[in-house]
Amino acid sequence: MTGTPRLLRLALRRDRVILPLWVLGLGLLPYVYASSFQTLFATEAERVDYARISAGNAGFVALYGPLHGDSLGELVVWRGGFVPVMVGLAALLTVIRHTRAEEEAGRTELLRATVTGRFAQLAAALILTCGAALLTGAVVAVTTIGVGLPVAGSLALGAVFTLSGWMFAGVGAVAAQLTASARSARSIAVVALGGAYLLRLVGDISDRAEFVAWLSPIGWVHRVFPYSASGEDWRPAMLALGFTVAAVGVSAYLMAHRDMGAGLLAARLGPRAAAASLRSPLALAWRLHRGLLLGWVAGFAALGLVFGAVGSSMVELASDSEGVDEMFSRIGGSGEVTDAYFATTAAICGLIAACYAVQAALRMRDEEQTGHAEAVLSTSVGRLAWAGSHLLFALVGPAAALLAEGVFAGVVHGTPGPVVGASLAQLPAVWVLAGVTMLLIGTLPRLASVAWAVIGVCLLLLLAGPLLELDQWVLDLSPFTHVPHLPSGSVGLAPLVVLSGVAVGLGLVGLVALRRRDVRAL
């Protein structure tokens, strides 16, 4: 453990931009939900009707979890039911970034050459991540108390957020010991998070298989029941705490039983000669991106099923509460409440698709840091062909994912054409963020991960901007503000053309800069 404090200071310095964004961005969401519910429901009867209809909707239960009561606090807990998943995702990515990614890049070897203990880097990463999750929970508790919700329930809700981060920080630490690649470690940890969410979903929507939710860490935090009239249940929280301790212990044990730079799952050797189908930059990029692409498309198809099922009940919700109609109009634009709902879900899916675009574009930075790019570029492959092959998947991949979401949501709801159009209208904004990532890779490669912070800002402007009534110029900072709010809005070609032009311009500048700068050699 020698050197842990200094490594912790180094990690804090490196994350001085990203860490506050996800702590404040996710921690303030319950406050935003509480404020918006107080504004939208003028009477207690409206709120009770909204809770009654929402609690009986399988799509809502699948997305947010079960709604156990009709009080304001319980509505806030229910509406923020997906946020602990996002906290878990941020936590596992942070741990892997400061452990396996550092080891893969060779920086851990340099640190070990100094007076640094074997477990110092893992300890620093876990302290950083768990501290950030604790701060997120503190922000949740303080802000919800400030808005007038009961103190005990607010502390329990803060604990839910904190424990979500702690559990998946442990999952990330275990995944970092399993493979020699940071990308594979992220995939394993994200699959574990997705599996936990799926188990929670199956347990919550099925009366006969409710026990399945108890197999999921996400299901545990949903059963703390903050603001419940019968009082909070702290037994699932103890279970989550025990899971965290066990996961951290397992990660330390695994780390002590493997060689530095290696993972417990040995990488398979490939054939001595590449197949003919791999002898081009585009074929190699397809080989590298295909697993990620297929996973994202399948995930978007599942989202489409959920959103399509929920969309069928929007009319019933709006007929019982004027606040619901107003809420979706403010977030997704004017028009019928169902159209406004699909405009909102399309915008959310656009932001999620932007995450895939950034991840796919950053793959070329990973290839550069691991030395694989040097090996490819030492052949007859040019830089533009190599970078363009990866950038192609950052552009086409989100299109395939949004198309899958739109088709499944539209078919379930019964109006595939308009819903598909609403989803695909997000593409120019997604491409702008892909262009920003390419620009950072070409001009400021060490700051390429700042692209994630840009997505965080866009997410905050989308979810909280209209509810907080921010000035229009602030909302205009996000490219998603400028896409048409389909299906009910009018299709203006000018914003789509301008956004596409901006994306092309950013991408070209990034490609030219990449062609002119040095490429890292190991």
Residue-wise DSSP of 1-68: -TTHHHHHHHHHHHTTTHHHHHHHHHHTHHHHHHHHHHHH--SHHHHHHHHHHHHT-HHHHHHH----
pLDDT at 323: 55
Among 190, 225, 257, the domain boundary falls at: 257
Residues 212, 169 share a domain? yes
The verdict on residue 431 lying in a domain is yes
Question: What is the average pLDDT value for the chain, to the nearest integer?
Answer: 83
Query: Cα 193–194–195 angle (5° rounding)?
Result: 90
The verdict on residue 499 lying in a domain is yes
Residues 168, 296 share a domain? no
Specify burial of residue 418 (Cβ count, 10 A radius: 0-12, 13-18, 19+): middle
The mean pLDDT of 54-74, rounded to a whole number, is 75
pLDDT at 133: 94
Q: Are 65 and 103 in contact (CB under 8 A)?
A: no
Residues 152, 111 share a domain? yes
Residues 292, 347 share a domain? yes
75-123 per-position pLDDT tens digit: 888 888 888 888 998 899 899 989 988 888 788 888 888 888 888 999 9
Distance of CA 116 to the CA centre of its chain: 33
Residues 332, 250 share a domain? no
Could you give the CA distance from residue 204 to residue 166 in angstroms, rounded to a whole number? 23
Domain that holds residue 101: 4-257
The verdict on residue 299 lying in a domain is yes
Could you give the CA distance from residue 124 to residue 99 in angstroms, rounded to a whole number? 9
Residues 350, 239 share a domain? no
Residues 332, 391 share a domain? yes
| Nearest CA-CA partner of 26 in 193, 167, 156, 140 | 140
Q: Tokens 């941020």 — which residue?
A: 90
pLDDT at 436: 92
pLDDT at 463: 67
Among 225, 257, 289, the domain boundary falls at: 257
Write out the two tokens for 211: 């026990």
Of 208 and 221, more confident: 221
Of 177 and 206, more confident: 177
Classified as helix, coil or strand, 335 is coil
Could you give the CA distance from residue 123 to residue 127 in angstroms, rounded to a whole number? 6
The verdict on residue 262 lying in a domain is no
The mean pLDDT of 23-34, rounded to a whole number, is 86
pLDDT at 464: 66
Residue 456 pLDDT more than 70? Answer: yes
The verdict on residue 409 lying in a domain is yes
Q: How confident is the model at residue 312 (pLDDT cuts 50, 70, 90)?
A: low
Q: Are 231 and 149 in contact (CB under 8 A)?
A: no
Among 257, 290, 320, the domain boundary falls at: 257
273-288 per-position pLDDT tens digit: 777 777 788 888 888 8
Residues 6 or more apart whose CB falls under 8 angstroms from that of 406 comprise: 304, 346, 416, 419, 420, 421, 422, 423, 424
pLDDT at 489: 67
Residues 6 or more apart whose CB falls under 8 angstroms from that of 38 comprise: 72, 147
Q: Are 96 and 186 in contact (CB under 8 A)?
A: yes
The verdict on residue 344 lying in a domain is yes
Residues 362, 317 share a domain? yes
313-364 per-position pLDDT tens digit: 666 555 555 555 555 555 544 456 677 778 878 888 888 888 889 888 988 8
| Nearest CA-CA partner of 90 in 53, 129, 137 | 129
The verdict on residue 165 lying in a domain is yes
Residues 293, 174 share a domain? no
Q: Are 462 and 347 in contact (CB under 8 A)?
A: yes
pLDDT at 9: 92
Residues 232, 83 share a domain? yes
Residue 204 pLDDT more than 90? Answer: no
Residues 508, 399 share a domain? yes
Could you give the CA distance from residue 162 to residue 153 in angstroms, rounded to a whole number? 14
Residues 318, 246 share a domain? no
Phi and psi at residue 499, in whole multiples of 5°? -60, -45
The whole model's pTM is what?
0.75
The verdict on residue 272 lying in a domain is no
Of 276 and 479, more confident: 479
pLDDT at 82: 81
pLDDT at 393: 92
366-415 per-position pLDDT tens digit: 888 778 888 888 888 888 999 999 999 999 999 999 999 889 888 887 77
Count how many domains the chain has: 2
236-283 per-position pLDDT tens digit: 999 999 999 999 999 999 998 888 878 888 777 777 777 777 778 888
pLDDT at 239: 93
pLDDT at 56: 65
The percent of residues in the chain predicted with pLDDT above 90, rounded, is 26
